[in-house]
Amino acid sequence: EPEVTQTPSHQVTQMGQEVILRCVPISNHLYFYWYRQILGQKVEFLVSFYNNEISEKSEIFDDQFSVERPDGSNFTLKIRSTKLEDSAMYFCASSESSSRETQYFGPGTRLLVL
Amino acid sequence: RKEVEQDPGPFNVPEGATVAFNCTYSNSASQSFFWYRQDCRKEPKLLMSVYSSGNEDGRFTAQLNRASQYISLLIRDSKLSDSATYLCVVASPGGSYIPTFGRGTSLIVHP
């Protein structure tokens, strides 16, 4: 069964450093998403991406965040200057046609900012 | 503020019990509704979509009440493996339907 993969599974970084989280969505999917989940809290939508551009973003997705699809398979989330409060699990998801359809989540990257 | 509210639980039930979760949402323009399951420190996985007419998948039944803006999930004949957190997800129209997650309801099924 096809699945969304994410690397790395864990990342520890110093405050102020840049991190890039990587995702490989399911190959025939057209919509891609990033979510975060702070420990003990709810899953929060960050951004959706379609046709090589951002289609929606939340208030959380400020100027320190960016997304990119650098090639035909990878979908990345960059955090330019990490803060302590960026520590969370970051989930990538993809869906075949739109966010009205089932989204398939990757296993997540646990980011710890020290 | 647009929110999705769930009773956090935990619901602690014996095997074989029937358990029901409710979820309320505040955005009346919401169009799509889902229940996801999340195991500890794992990714959310779709359990079922929720349709206006209600729908059933084996031991799981989902209902939608648009007038009262709530969604329910009924689990019959609970199994130990049903222990997880159940997330209510509501998608509202933006350019591509932005999903809002509830905080989840924790279910513990014991022998």
Residue B95 clears pLDDT 60, i.e. is over it: no
- The C-alpha R_g of chain B, in whole angstroms, comes to 14
| Distance (Å) of CA A92 to CA A47, A73, A83 | 10, 13, 20
Q: Say if the Cβ atoms of A102 and B46 lie within 8 Å.
A: yes
pLDDT at A37: 97
Find the residue in A nearest to B43 (Cα). A107
pLDDT at A100: 65
Confidence of residue B30 (pLDDT cuts 50, 70, 90): confident
Beta strand spans in chain A (E) = 5-7, 10-13, 19-24, 31-37, 43-50, 53-57, 65-68, 75-79, 88-95, 104-105, 109-113
Q: Percent of chain A, pLDDT > 90?
A: 78
Q: Stretch A41-66: mean pLDDT, rounded?
A: 93
Summarised one tens digit per residue, pLDDT across range A8-24 is 999 999 999 999 999 99
Q: Stretch B55-71: mean pLDDT, rounded?
A: 94
Q: Say if the Cβ atoms of A106 and B43 lie within 8 Å.
A: yes
Q: Stretch A53-70: mean pLDDT, rounded?
A: 92
| Contact (Cβ atoms closer than 8 angstroms) between residue A3 and residue A25 | no
Q: Is any Cβ of chain A less than 8 angstroms from the Cβ of B70?
A: no
| Contact (Cβ atoms closer than 8 angstroms) between residue B77 and residue A15 | no
